[in-house]
């Protein structure tokens, strides 16, 4: 049950973030009380501290397109998870990764710490101070 809820929340999160990042750089939402993408409080504060070139850079179409591209990637991840919902839930329930790696057996490596037995000394090496 918890694996299903985890996958559902992940899908919802991917879709919400994807829609927001895809649409918000291009839409003027003054009627909702939100300002333009390039004219918000935090950007003006950063531009005031570092110089007003930051505001022009964020307002450029290149940055808006990059942010929208990340939003489209999030939408794609959400849709992929939605299509492969049962497979992901089964993989989470079984505790196995959903993507299998190569099936070649790698030789076991022995490190220097594995070859020596571990000695647990409950007392420290430093002499106790008598007070």
pLDDT value of position 55: 81
pLDDT value of position 106: 58
pLDDT value of position 93: 86
pLDDT value of position 109: 63
Count H helices and E strands in the chain, helices first: 6, 0
- pTM of this structure: 0.63
Domain ranges across the chain:
2-98
Digit-coded pLDDT (tens) for 50-100: 887 888 888 888 999 999 999 999 999 999 999 999 998 888 888 766 556
Q: What's the residue count for the chain?
A: 131
Phi-psi bin for 65: left (phi > 0), alpha (psi -120 to 50), beta? Answer: alpha
pLDDT value of position 67: 93
Q: Which long-range contacts (CB under 8 A, 24 or more apart) does 27-34 make?
A: none
Residue 114 has pLDDT above 80, yes or no: no
pLDDT value of position 44: 82
Cβ 42 vs Cβ 88: under 8 Å: no
Q: Which long-range contacts (CB under 8 A, 24 or more apart) does 35-41 make?
A: 37/64
pLDDT value of position 15: 96
Name the percent of the chain lying above pLDDT 90. Answer: 32
């Amino acid at each position: 049950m918890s694996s299903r809820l985890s996958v559902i929340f992940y899908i919802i999160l991917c879709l919400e973030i994807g829609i927001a990042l895809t649409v918000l750089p291009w839409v003027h939402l003054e009627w909702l009380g939100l300002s333009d993408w390039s004219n918000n409080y935090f950007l003006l504060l950063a531009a005031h501290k570092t110089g007003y070139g930051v505001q022009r850079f964020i307002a450029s179409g290149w940055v808006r397109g990059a942010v929208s591209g990340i939003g489209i990637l999030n939408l794609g991840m959400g849709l992929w998870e939605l299509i492969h919902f049962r497979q992901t839930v089964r993989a989470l329930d079984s505790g196995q990764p959903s993507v299998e790696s190569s099936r070649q057996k790698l030789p076991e490596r022995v490190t220097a710490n594995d070859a020596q037995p571990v000695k647990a000394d409950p007392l420290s090496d430093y002499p106790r101070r008598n007070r």
